[in-house]
Amino acid sequence: MSASSDLVRLDALELAARLRCREVSSIEATRAYLDRIERYDGTIGAFLHVRGEDALKDAESAQHLLDAAASGGPEAPAFCGVPVALKDNLCTQGIPTTCASRMLEGYIPPYDATAVARVKASGAVLLGKLNMDEFAMGSSNENSSVKPVRNPWDATRVPGGSSGGSAAAASASFAAFALGSDTGGSIRLPAAFCGVVGLKPTYGSVSRYGLVAFASSLDQIGPLTRSVADAEAVFGLLAGRDPHDATTVERPASAVAAKRGVKGLRVGIPKEFLTDAVQPEVRDAVKRAADWLSAEGAVCVECALPAVASWIPAYYVVSSAEASSNLARFDGVRYGHRAAEYDSIASMYSKSRSEGFGAEVKRRILLGTFVLSAGYHDAYYGSAQKARAHIRAGFDGVFRDHDVLLSPVAPQTAFRLGEKSGDPLQMYLQDICTVGASLAGIPALSVPAGFDGEGLPIGLQLTGPAFSENVLFDAAACIERSAGCRGRFPDLDRAAAAAKGA
């Protein structure tokens, strides 16, 4: 392999193959990624913690396994020696895990999340932990208490959130792949804004053990990658039953079926997401993708999704209610920030929480507290649960006639830093296309499908019934083949110059 800039741009599966045949070493690959992070992450802000020498030591260990396998020893695991990075809400034993919050500054978990353990078992080398919206609450990554993340394609724009660091890291070739978490679109939205593939799996596919909880009935961990094949491979290693998460199940046999392509696939295109409120280039991308799918034998028709108007209200009520309960544990006693001055245990709690949480987290805790409070519970939380049941039933009805839904991920491409941060409601509306799948617990994937007139990536969403990830991968692969986005990478020197000029 020649230049390190070529090495870091390889897809994870391609790099894994070259490592196995020892065309390149894990140490060489890890050093190439660390050099790139050192050179460019001052502009992008994707990492909160870089492991540096520790990553190189892990690369050495991985290389021993690869060398042993090449000498006739045991086969090396799937991603042996491949450098990867993780969102900072995944617990990593001995490595800081802060959720980009002052509340968890300095927290070092005593255990690995199951997803982290599975990535480690695959032989991957952990480069570090990635920036995010504080406690995964946000759609632009401007809510990090440390620093915002910038979009590698245009550093004056947001990368999307909350897994903005993960998407930016995959897009900027700071890691072969990244893991993120998705509660209402937090993998799919940044994947779309940064031009990478992002999967929110079926609820129950991937263990949430060790994922710092935001909204437990919605949270799922998933991959952000530079190819559909990588997303499928990483999902394959993450998915499966975990005794530590009672909601996890083994994937049904039908969900791991062999490739079947898109011939005969019934693709529905919800007309609710093709209105004038959507950027024309994004609408055009949906129509182009439908043509590509049709050319390979899919049958694409417009369809109607019921109850779309209730998606955002139901999501923000349910997720904020669950967040207000989950974040009650941060009281300054067992871990996290504790106020320096207080005069009673009650004031220690309130001062620690007031100092430790940022504005958006406080906003959602208050909203969640309000919708669960006496006198308002039935009108808000109860109604949101009823709406959720209607939304789920609506999807069930649509999937009787369609195998997969094709839509935008967001109404527009990446917006400018600061453009929407002053109006929380406008920011929440970014999730209009994504929260439905979250409320229904069904899988949805974002795949790059072209660029707008300003050179910003356009991502399209594929949504299917529970455990239909294999169908989503087939459809996404068709779009990937036709869109010609693979092999196009952001110019980070230009991004650095734009960031300086901003």
Q: Taking the complex as a whole, how short is the minimal distance between the CB of residue 241 and other proteins, in angstroms?
A: 7
Tell me 182's DSSP state: E
Q: How many helices (H) and strands (E) does the chain have?
A: 17, 11
Q: Which is nearer to other proteins, 273 or 380 (CB)?
A: 380
Q: Which is nearer to other proteins, 76 or 314 (CB)?
A: 314
- Cβ 201 to other proteins shortest distance, Å: 9
The full length of the chain comes to 502
Half-sphere exposure of residue 213, counting CA atoms within 13 Å on the CB side? 20
Q: Min. distance of Cβ 128 from other proteins in angstroms?
A: 20
Give 69 or 429: the residue with its C-beta nearer to other proteins. 429
Residue labelled with tokens 């600061």: 418
- Cα separation values, 208 from 367, 424, 447, Å: 24, 27, 24
Q: Known catalytic residues?
A: 87, 162, 186
State how far the Cα of 203 lies from the Cα of 248, in Å rounded to an integer. Answer: 8
Nearer to other proteins, 350 or 482 (CB): 350
SS3 456: coil
Task: Name the minimum Å distance from CB 257 to other proteins.
Answer: 17
The nearest distance, CB 292 to other proteins, in angstroms, is 30
Cis peptide bond prior to 145, omega within 30° of 0: no
CB of 379 to other proteins, least distance (A): 6
* Distance (Å, whole) CA 219 – CA 428: 17
Per the CB < 8 A criterion, the answer to whether 406 and 293 are in contact is yes
98 vs 5, 134, 156, 422, CA distance in Å? Answer: 30, 9, 25, 25
**Which residue, 26 or 320, has its beta carbon nearer to other proteins?**
320
Separation of alpha carbons 181 and 185, rounded Å: 9
- In the bound state with other proteins, the residue whose beta carbon lies nearer, of 446 and 468, is 468
Closest CA to 419 of 222, 181, 231, 140: 140
Q: How many CA atoms lie within 13 A of 192 on its CB side?
A: 35
